[in-house]
A and B are shown apart, each in its own frame.
Chain A
Amino acid sequence: DAGVIQSPRHEVTEMGQEVTLRCKPISGHDYLFWYRQTMMRGLELLIYFNNNVPIDDSGMPEDRFSAKMPNASFSTLKIQPSEPRDSAVYFCASSMTGNYGYTFGSGTRLTVV
């Protein structure tokens, strides 16, 4: 298994543009998490899914952020419109029932100018 795959690795966009981040979890994992990492706030959970259903989105900063998981092998995190303060590294992670720990993707480094 190639692990959790995120794309793109880097994204530079202008303020106001729509940004879509993508994640492919490990096959067989039934939990998927989106985290944001910044120097100031560390790792923040944005949203997580179980069996493709959003369970907790209380960490989503505002309505500009949305996430979907149309099937077990794909999830997206969308920011529309993007703002400079959204600049961060966005990590996707997956896990299976039983709490064996998360497997993280390589992250997407987002820069909004």
Chain B
Amino acid sequence: DTGVSQDPRHKITKRGQNVTFRCDPISEHNRLYWYRQTLGQGPEFLTYFQNEAQLEKSRLLSDRFSAERPKGSFSTLEIQRTEQGDSAMYLCASSSSQYRGEQYFGPGTRLTVT
């Protein structure tokens, strides 16, 4: 078990560009979460998948954000028309229904919008 992985680790983009991040959860975990963390703050929930179904989206997830988890395995988070306010660390976590609530986090993708 290699843990949760995220790619890329760092992304610098210009305002207005689209970006996509990938998360590979722990293989036997059916639950996958995306969070966003800005400097000096705790992570904030963005969205949640159980298997391939996206079951909850935060109000933070504007219509420029979209997330998918095809086949219930890896997940992607896309941000369209990036804005400077999107600069943050994007964290992915996964958990198993058998282990209630213990979410294991990946290293994150740090996005800088210039």
Do A and B form a real pair?
A: no
State the B residues within 8 Å of A (CB).
Answer: none
State the A residues within 8 Å of B (CB).
Answer: none
